[in-house]
Structure 1
């Protein structure tokens, strides 16, 4: 069985969830960011200078981390969906606070009875401009 790739309605759903996460990230809306991450021991977030394993660790870290700069801008965002319940979102970002280029990758899954999209894994890194 081959999963359908990039069905327009699924891309639209994941894009909407990603936009909401990005809005919450820039606004430092911790409640929304937490709601968009799967609260499970299997969830992993590798940050720029930290590692969190599990929803509890991610929530604890969010309570003390520095807010994302308001000057954050996304570049080359790519959403790829696999079937109706799994997707990846890859993006680059810049801000006025660093000359480095940020890279962010998220794995999203439709989890639970409500059918909401949740981030199940994330990785953020900074590199010098290539």
Structure 2
């Protein structure tokens, strides 16, 4: 819905941004499509998350493709809900990493982002589902 304040969205809203290149990889215009599906950094994160979840590699050409990843997961409805939650958490952690680089100048590594995705996913699953005994 074009509500995420990427550099491209801010420029469209007439906010003065000096550099519109992606904050994470330095290549391409930073819009939602690039940041979550086309950025080399994000592709590394999605590849590692797909391996961790033991699902097919996550390839998305559009942000909406990410929201449909759970439909390709074999298993019960809980497996699909867990994968959907992991996808949402991954998007959130990628966005937080982008903001940390823009506002604090910190450079995240793919392994650090994936570690955050794993820990936040476990916390979410433990506290939001019937799997409260999960360690």
Q: TM-score normalised to the size of structure 2? A: 0.26
Select the structure that is richer in helix.
2
Please say which structure displays the higher CA radius of gyration: 2
Q: TM-score normalised to the size of structure 1? A: 0.27
Select the structure that is richer in strand.
1
